[in-house]
Structure 1
Amino acid sequence: QKENTALDNDTIGTSRQPAAYRVQREMQTEEHFQACFERKLSSTLGGALQIPRENRRLQCSFSWGRFRKITLKMFPVLKWLFTYRFREWILRDLHAGLSVGMFQIPQGLLGVWLTRLPLPNINGFFSAFCCSLTYVIFGTSHHISVGSFSILNVVVTNILKTPNFNQTLSSNGSLHNFSDPTFMKDDMEALTLTASITFLTGIIQLLLGCFCLGFVTTYVPKTLIDAYLAAAALHVIVAQFTFIFDIILDFRKGPLGIFYNLFHYFLALPKANATSILLFLLSVAALRVNTSIKITYKHSPIAFPMELLLIITVTIISNRIHLHAESSSAVVSMIPQRFLPPTLPDLSNLSKIIQHAFCLAIVSYFLLVFVGERYASLHNYNIASNQELIAVGLCNIFSSFFKSFVVSCSISGTVIQEKTGGRTQLAAAIGASTMLVIALKLGRFFQMIPNDILAAIVVFNMLPFLQKFLDVPILWRRDKYHFVIWLVTFAAVLCFGLDVGLAIAMGFTFFIITIRSHRMKMVELGQIPNMNIYRSLSVYRAAREIEGIKIFQCCSSISFANMSHFKTYLLHEMDMKAVPLDESEMRALISLSDTAVERKDLKCSCACDPPLPPPRIPYTEKLVKQRHADSDSSSSSVNLVHWSKYGDRLSSRMFLVAADDASPGFDMGLATEKKEDEGRRACLSPGSAIDNSSVQFDQEEEPARLLHPVHTIILDFSMVQFVDLIGSELLRQIIHMFHDIGITVLLAGCHSSVIADFEKNDFFDSCVTKERFFLTLHDAVLAALDKHQKPNELEPAAKEFAEEPQAEQRKVEYLA
Structure 2
Amino acid sequence: MNLLSDIEKESEVALRLRIDRPLYDQETLNYECNYKKPESTSVTHNIIKSLKKKRCKSAVTSILPVSYWLRKYRWKDYILSDIISGITVAIMHIPQGMAYALLGNLPPVTGIYMAFFPVLIYFLFGTSKHVSMGTFAIVCLMTGRVVTAYSSSPTLTLVNGTFLHPTEIVDDVNLLPIYSPMQVATAVTFTVGLLQLTMFCLRLGIISTLLSETLVNGFTFGAAIHVFMSQIKDLLGLKLPKRKVDHFKLIYTTIDIFSVLHSPNFAALVVSTVSIIIMILNDELMKPWLKKKCNMPLPIELIAVVTGTLISNYCDLPKNYEIETVGIISTGLPKPELPTFQLLPIVAVDCIAIAMVSYTVTLSMALIFAQKLRYEIDSNQELFAMGISNIAGSFFSCMPFSASLSRSLIQQTVGGKTQIASIVSCTILLIILLWIGPFFEALPRCVLASVIMVALKGMLMQAKQLTRFWKLSKLDGIVWIVTVLTVVLVSIDVGLLAGLITSLASILLLSIKPYVCLLGHVPNTDLYLDISRYQGTVTLEGIRILHYSGGLNFANKSYFKTRVIKLVDVDPQKVLKIRAKKIKSAAYDNKFHDTNNDKLHTILIDMSALNYADPSGIGSLHAIVKDYYSIDIAVYFAGCSASIFDSILKYNKYAADEHQLKVFVTIHDAVTYALKEFTMK
Structures share fold, TM-score greater than 0.5: yes
Query: Which whole-Å CA distance do the structure 2 matches of 1:469 and 1:12 have between them?
Result: 54
Structure 1 residue aligned with 2:632 = 742
Q: Say if 2:649 is the partner of 1:754.
A: no
Instruction: Give the alignment of 1:430-509 within 5 angstroms.
Output: 430-509=424-503
Q: Say if 2:132 is the partner of 1:144.
A: yes
Query: Which whole-Å CA distance do the structure 1 matches of 2:600 and 2:523 have between them?
Result: 20
- Conserved? CA contact 1:524–1:552, under 8 Å: yes
Instruction: Identify the match of residue 617 of structure 2 among 727, 742, 753.
Output: 727
- 1:69 is aligned with what amino acid? S
Instruction: Identify the match of residue 269 of structure 1 among 240, 254, 261.
Output: 261
CA-atom RMSD, angstroms? 3.9
> Cα distance, 1:707 vs. partner?
4.6
**What SS does the corresponding residue of 1:554 show, helix, strand or coil?**
strand
Over residues 50-90 of structure 1, what are the superposed CA-to-partner deviations in whole Å (9 max), with x where a residue is unaligned?
A: xxxxx99x899987x74443333212334543344445544
> Cα distance, 1:275 vs. partner?
1.9
Query: Which whole-Å CA distance do the structure 2 matches of 1:753 and 1:79 have between them?
Result: 39
Q: Say if 2:169 is the partner of 1:278.
A: no
Structure 2 residue aligned with 1:604 = none
**What SS does the corresponding residue of 2:19 show, helix, strand or coil?**
strand
- 2:87 is aligned with what amino acid? L
Structure 1 residue aligned with 2:168 = none
Q: Say if 2:229 is the partner of 1:241.
A: no
Instruction: Identify the match of residue 131 of structure 1 among 109, 118, 133.
Output: 118
Q: Say if 2:253 is the partner of 1:257.
A: no
**What SS does the corresponding residue of 1:789 show, helix, strand or coil?**
helix
Structure 2 residue aligned with 1:177 = none
**What SS does the corresponding residue of 1:526 show, helix, strand or coil?**
strand
Q: Say if 2:220 is the partner of 1:226.
A: no
Q: Say if 2:285 is the partner of 1:292.
A: no
> Cα distance, 1:425 vs. partner?
2.1
Query: Which whole-Å CA distance do the structure 2 matches of 1:330 and 1:341 have between them?
Result: 21
**What SS does the corresponding residue of 2:239 show, helix, strand or coil?**
coil
- TM (normalized to structure 1)? 0.70
**What SS does the corresponding residue of 1:783 show, helix, strand or coil?**
helix
Query: Which whole-Å CA distance do the structure 1 matches of 2:262 and 2:289 have between them?
Result: 37
Instruction: Identify the match of residue 32 of structure 1 among 11, 28, 32.
Output: 28
Query: Which whole-Å CA distance do the structure 2 matches of 1:557 and 1:736 have between them?
Result: 21
More helix by share: 2
Query: Which whole-Å CA distance do the structure 1 matches of 2:222 and 2:414 have between them?
Result: 25
- Conserved? CA contact 1:243–1:326, under 8 Å: no
> Cα distance, 1:329 vs. partner?
4.1
Query: Which whole-Å CA distance do the structure 1 matches of 2:570 and 2:663 have between them?
Result: 24
- 1:548 is aligned with what amino acid? G
**What SS does the corresponding residue of 1:223 show, helix, strand or coil?**
helix
**What SS does the corresponding residue of 1:545 show, helix, strand or coil?**
coil
Structure 2 residue aligned with 1:74 = 63
Query: Which whole-Å CA distance do the structure 2 matches of 1:518 and 1:87 have between them?
Result: 58
- Conserved? CA contact 2:517–2:546, under 8 Å: yes
**What SS does the corresponding residue of 2:116 show, helix, strand or coil?**
helix
> Cα distance, 1:379 vs. partner?
4.8
Structure 2 residue aligned with 1:599 = none
**What SS does the corresponding residue of 2:547 show, helix, strand or coil?**
strand
Structure 2 residue aligned with 1:680 = none
Structure 2 residue aligned with 1:594 = none
Over residues 245-265 of structure 1, what are the superposed CA-to-partner deviations in whole Å (9 max), with x where a residue is unaligned?
A: 122335766444334424433
> Cα distance, 1:450 vs. partner?
2.7
**What SS does the corresponding residue of 1:530 show, helix, strand or coil?**
coil
> Cα distance, 1:545 vs. partner?
1.0
**What SS does the corresponding residue of 2:605 show, helix, strand or coil?**
strand
Instruction: Identify the match of residue 155 of structure 1 among 145, 160, 172.
Output: 145
- Conserved? CA contact 1:549–1:712, under 8 Å: yes
**What SS does the corresponding residue of 1:535 show, helix, strand or coil?**
strand
Which residues of structure 1 form unaligned runs of 5+? 50-54, 173-184, 580-621, 627-690, 696-703, 792-816
> Cα distance, 1:216 vs. partner?
0.3
Instruction: Identify the match of residue 201 of structure 1 among 188, 192, 195.
Output: 192
**What SS does the corresponding residue of 1:531 show, helix, strand or coil?**
coil
Moved more, 315-324 or 495-504: 315-324
- 1:494 is aligned with what amino acid? V
> Cα distance, 1:549 vs. partner?
1.0
Over residues 786-816 of structure 1, what are the superposed CA-to-partner deviations in whole Å (9 max), with x where a residue is unaligned?
A: 122389xxxxxxxxxxxxxxxxxxxxxxxxx
- Conserved? CA contact 1:576–1:625, under 8 Å: no
Query: Which whole-Å CA distance do the structure 2 matches of 1:508 and 1:743 have between them?
Result: 42
Q: Say if 2:674 is the partner of 1:784.
A: yes
| Structure 1 residues 139 and 231, CA gap change in structure 2 (3 angstroms) | farther
> Cα distance, 1:735 vs. partner?
0.7
Moved more, 439-448 or 464-473: 464-473
| Structure 1 residues 326 and 207, CA gap change in structure 2 (3 angstroms) | farther
Moved more, 360-369 or 411-420: 411-420
| Structure 1 residues 501 and 270, CA gap change in structure 2 (3 angstroms) | same
Identity of aligned residues (%): 27
Structure 2 residue aligned with 1:211 = 202
Over residues 271-322 of structure 1, what are the superposed CA-to-partner deviations in whole Å (9 max), with x where a residue is unaligned?
A: 233323323333333432332223469xx84533333444444444444344
- Conserved? CA contact 2:547–2:606, under 8 Å: yes
- 1:522 is aligned with what amino acid? V
> Cα distance, 1:341 vs. partner?
2.8
Moved more, 8-17 or 484-493: 8-17
**What SS does the corresponding residue of 1:195 show, helix, strand or coil?**
helix
> Cα distance, 1:391 vs. partner?
2.0
Query: Which whole-Å CA distance do the structure 2 matches of 1:116 and 1:751 have between them?
Result: 57
| Structure 1 residues 571 and 492, CA gap change in structure 2 (3 angstroms) | same
| Structure 1 residues 743 and 125, CA gap change in structure 2 (3 angstroms) | closer
**What SS does the corresponding residue of 1:722 show, helix, strand or coil?**
strand
| Structure 1 residues 712 and 139, CA gap change in structure 2 (3 angstroms) | same
Instruction: Identify the match of residue 562 of structure 1 among 553, 556, 559.
Output: 556
> Cα distance, 1:722 vs. partner?
2.3
**What SS does the corresponding residue of 2:389 show, helix, strand or coil?**
helix
Which residues of structure 2 form unaligned runs of 5+? 164-175, 584-588, 594-598
| Structure 1 residues 719 and 109, CA gap change in structure 2 (3 angstroms) | closer
Structure 1 residue aligned with 2:169 = none
Structure 1 residue aligned with 2:170 = none
Query: Which whole-Å CA distance do the structure 1 matches of 2:332 and 2:124 have between them?
Result: 30
